[in-house]
A and B are shown apart, each in its own frame.
Chain A
């Protein structure tokens, strides 16, 4: 069966708008001048129908940009995003025409993602109404049904967003996305801003909807334990690239990329008790001028000369697993150094 979503060699670069002052100070080492943010670089993956793919990484790794490219909000600088073979959006840079209603996105902050001056019923129903996904006479009933499906009362349709708690608002945002009868949901840190107990409720809702509607989803998150709980496969991103892509179970059992390993080691978890952390050394490099070769090499304990010169490619490492690390692909070049 062909995959639902195909992301092929996608890159996204944002030119930094250089102001007059930036241009004048360019000689003084101001990096903003004429710089480019390499948000996403050469990313390729597929999502099968009915699959939930997790996209994990720290801030600035490009996971949110990637989510927006898949959602048709940004156009990729290079590469293609196709849903059932059809492009998701058309355009370049600022001017993007989204071509499909079949991909819908759920944002992180439910306090920002709902129009504060629009009743939630209208927020949910305007998309299907304008795209004539439901007959006009059914719009109200359908809105009520959607609210009930996400665990709210149908009568809430006449209220404004500020009358709801964060968890309830996130349910409304989910209802808005479901109203478009999407084939693919993009969830961008959809539970990150919720309290733990509310987060559990929303995750359960997501699991139920997945079971009932056979949802396919791109689940973007920085939270490793949340991703483990809901995703079938997981992609780990670092500085714009996918460094490891693997079925969730195997990944959590034995992470292969040094970054993935370090990430897992630095996450505090319940029940391990007081212990010494093994944090990753150093800072995340700037995506304005990423390090040459493997972006992780300045922080990697295994880095060798080859890592500083050559960008590692994603290569197979076990069934369904790929890793972008020279350790997995002929060594880091210690011999050449010697």
Chain B
């Protein structure tokens, strides 16, 4: 099957006072239609920058220095800016953690949605409104007709995020990049949205990149998982494989440190230290000074991996089952 999104060797650098840092380092993955890819990492791992880089939304002092972003076979990076803009919202759209990044606080929901429709397609206002109403209904918003005349502040946080997702879906894009879209929401609301997103991916065949720090969320939502650390994808595989049989020591440590699977009151297994600053990464493998399996070779040679199937970017990966 052809991939909806194929990212190859994406690299994004930022110029900071401390020198140039590589926030996204040679990131490659692909997502097929109707599948959800969980892009997991802790803060500073580069997961969000990866999401923004895919859409070319990187501003000074950052720049995308390398790589290809193929959406249904066409390379976004090779496009002139005007054409890229017309791709955004139509072929690729984004859902942010804060829905107010998408929503205009002074416009009614219906007005901004129909505007978004008519940016890319010629149709009259009434048709656009009808299309908007359908989109709202599709993301499970009750009485969508009424919501069209509401202002964003009249909706709850969960509703706003649903509207943002509906806007992202307006043009039946091939790919949606969702950056921590349920992190700010309550669990019961998050549960509702995750259920809707899963259903939408299955029904609309949209490929979704779900950027998050929450392992539990991806484990129950995603089909595939990429784990990021210090700008690199360190492990990639199906959700089931990565969660149940992690191969990278970092993934393993991350999974182990989630409470709830250990006897109450006992010490949680912890990864020592904290995420390194991108400007002062250790030589060799960036994880080596927190890694229980590190050896001499890890300090000198950066690990390389040929991705395919369930792989880890590690000199000493854990046994694949």
Contacts and interface: CB of A to CB of B under 8 A. Distances in A.
Nearest to A259: B188
A243 interface: no
Interface stretch (A5-13, A92-100, A195-203, A303-311): A195-203
A284 to B, nearest CB: 7
A229 B264 CA distance: 4
Contact of A195 (B43, B189, B195): B43
Contact of A200 (B195, B240, B244, B268): B268
A224 interface: yes
Given A200-B257, A228-B259, A268 B221 contact: yes
Nearest to B274: A165
B243 A283 contact: no
Contacts of A214: none
Q: Which of A166, A198, A249, A262 has the most CB of B within 10 A?
A: A198
A201 B42 contact: no
Interface in B201-254: 213-217, 219-223, 239-240, 243-244, 253-254
Contacts of A266: 187-188, 190-192
Nearest to B188: A280
Contact of B186 (A58, A166, A199, A273): A58
B265 interface: yes
B221 A274 contact: yes
Contacts of A198: 42, 274
A197 B270 contact: yes
B189 A283 contact: yes
A274 B264 contact: no
Contacts of A201: 270
Nearest to B240: A273
A119 interface: no
Interface string A184-217: 0000000000011111110110010000000000
Q: Which of A224, A249, A271, A273 has the most CB of B within 10 A?
A: A271
A239 to B, nearest CB: 12
B41 to A, nearest CB: 9
Contacts, number: 149
Contact of B195 (A196, A228, A269, A279): A279
Contact of B258 (A248, A270, A278, A279): A270
Count class of interface residues, chain A: 35 or more
Contacts of B261: 225, 270-271
Contacts of B222: 274
Given A58-B187, A197-B254, A200-B270, A270 B215 contact: yes
A270 B219 contact: yes
B265 A230 contact: yes
B81 interface: no
A256 to B, nearest CB: 18
B87 interface: no
B158 interface: yes
Contacts of B244: 271
A269 B214 CA distance: 10
Nearest to A280: B188
Contacts of A254: none
A3 B216 CA distance: 37
Contacts of B186: 58-59, 222, 284
Contacts of A137: none
A197 B251 CA distance: 10
A207 B187 contact: no
B42 A195 contact: yes
Nearest to B158: A283
A117 interface: no
A227 B183 CA distance: 18
A277 B188 CA distance: 10
Contacts of A2: none
Contacts of A226: 259-260
B267 interface: yes
A270 B260 contact: yes
Nearest to A59: B186
A269 B261 CA distance: 9
Interface string A226-270: 101111000000000000000011000000000000110011111
Nearest to A269: B216
B269 interface: yes
Nearest to B45: A195
Given A200-B270, A263-B187, A230 B220 contact: no
A276 B196 CA distance: 10
A275 interface: yes
A201 to B, nearest CB: 5
A59 B223 CA distance: 30
Contact of A274 (B187, B220, B258): B220
Contacts of A273: 219-220, 239-240, 243
Contacts of A312: none
B260 A197 contact: no
Contacts of B240: 273-274
Interface string A34-69: 000000000000000000000000110000000000
Interface string B269-296: 1110011000000000000000000000
14 contacts: A195-B275, A204-B268, A225-B261, A226-B259, A228-B264, A263-B188, A267-B187, A268-B191, A269-B260, A270-B261, A273-B243, A280-B191, A283-B189, A284-B188
Interface of A: 58-59, 165-168, 195-201, 203-204, 207, 222, 224-226, 228-231, 248-249, 262-263, 266-280, 283-284
Given A224-B260, A270-B219, 20 more contacts: A168-B274, A197-B253, A197-B270, A200-B271, A222-B187, A229-B260, A231-B264, A266-B188, A268-B191, A268-B217, A269-B219, A270-B215, A271-B219, A273-B240, A279-B191, A279-B194, A279-B195, A280-B188, A284-B156, A284-B186
| Top 9 A-B pairs, shortest CB-CB distance | A225-B260, A266-B191, A279-B191, A200-B257, A229-B259, A58-B186, A195-B42, A279-B192, A268-B220
